[in-house]
Copies of this chain bind each other. A is one copy, B any other.
Amino acid sequence: MSLSTRDSFIQHIKALQEKICVDLEEVDGKSKFITDTWERRGGGGGTSRVISHGNIFEKAGVNISVVHGELPPLAAQQLKVAGTSFFAAGLSLVIHPFSPKIPTVHANWRYFEVYDENGIASDAWFGGGTDLTPYYLVEEDAVHFHATQKKCCDTFDSTLYPQFKRQCDNYFNNHHREGERRGVGGIFFDHCRGNEKYTLDFWKNFTENNGAIFLDGYLPLVNRHKSEPFTQHNKYWQEIRRGRYVEFNLLHDRGTLFGIKTQGRTESILMSLPPTVRFDYDFKPDPGSEEEKLLEVLNHPRNWVHSNVSIL
């Protein structure tokens, strides 16, 4: 008997969580992940795995949650779906290295089902993506990260990468700062349903594959920069930029706000927040500095890898 989409995706995220944690511990060489399992009052629960004060990773969380229950009207409105109850399974991770020379990375892969008042599934979709947040712009890092994503997308359909890359730039946008992006992007996909063109199973394979190749895009950057020296000035700038990360997550991130509204586990949702942060009034980098070069690319997202497909 084959597993349901739900059960099979749950198996996938559990195995992926384990694999990512093992690989990150090996790279860090000092700290180990702690494990917190928790139950959700409204139904379901999760396992949060967190590493702190490592050689390389100042704070990182790799969390899975498998939750179900009533869908509050506000949450239904936010998801733009009609339904009274839901099931959601996902893996969310955020990695904050100590060194400002190593980028922060975020990824999430999730599956949703929504049910009507009779408990009949009325909707189901996959979503996810990954995005890179450097503190200093190293073009080959951005190129490598995006190339890995493009390669993954192209295996499925060459129209996907340009579309999901653009959605990522549109999503991780601090609108209250005139369109300053959180980082150099990656891919973002959501509401990927079975339809005439693609089956739900197509999106399941895509989502699972995107999870499986995630570390190929990130670990080479960690290894490239982990021994690089940095100054107090570099660290200060990292903490200023981490402030923008906090602003995005608490003001705009749909996942965070959905979790808070559906009485998710606060510590697991807010695990994404960086360990040390600065909020200076009206901080501006020096003209012509490396810090200003980063801002330039955050304000004007670039195409990092050549795509054969033109989209409008």
Contacts and interface: CB of A to CB of B under 8 A. Distances in A.
A246 B251 contact: no
A45 interface: no
Contacts of A156: none
B266 A177 contact: yes
B280 A277 contact: no
Interface string A215-246: 00000000000000000000000010001001
Given A176-B266, A251-B260, A260-B176, A281 B50 contact: yes
A280 to B, nearest CB: 7
A265 to B, nearest CB: 10
Interface stretch (A106-114, A147-155, A268-276): A268-276
Tell me if A's interface is mostly helix, strand, loop or mixed. mixed
Contacts of A279: 59, 246, 270, 273-275, 277
Copies of this chain present in the complex amount to 2
The interface size bin for chain A is: 20 to 34
A36 interface: yes
Contact of A281 (B61, B250, B260): B61
Given A61-B281, A281-B59, A247 B270 contact: yes
A74 B281 CA distance: 28
A52 interface: yes
A286 interface: no
A267 interface: yes
A280 B176 contact: no
Interface in A248-292: 250-251, 260, 266-267, 270-271, 273-282
Given A247-B250, A250-B246, A250-B247, A276 B275 contact: no
A180 to B, nearest CB: 10
A266 B279 CA distance: 12
8 contacts: A59-B281, A177-B266, A251-B260, A267-B281, A270-B279, A274-B279, A275-B279, A277-B278
Interface of A: 36, 48, 50, 52, 59, 61, 176-177, 239, 243, 246-247, 250-251, 260, 266-267, 270-271, 273-282
The 3 closest A-B pairs by CB, nearest first: A250-B250, A273-B279, A277-B277
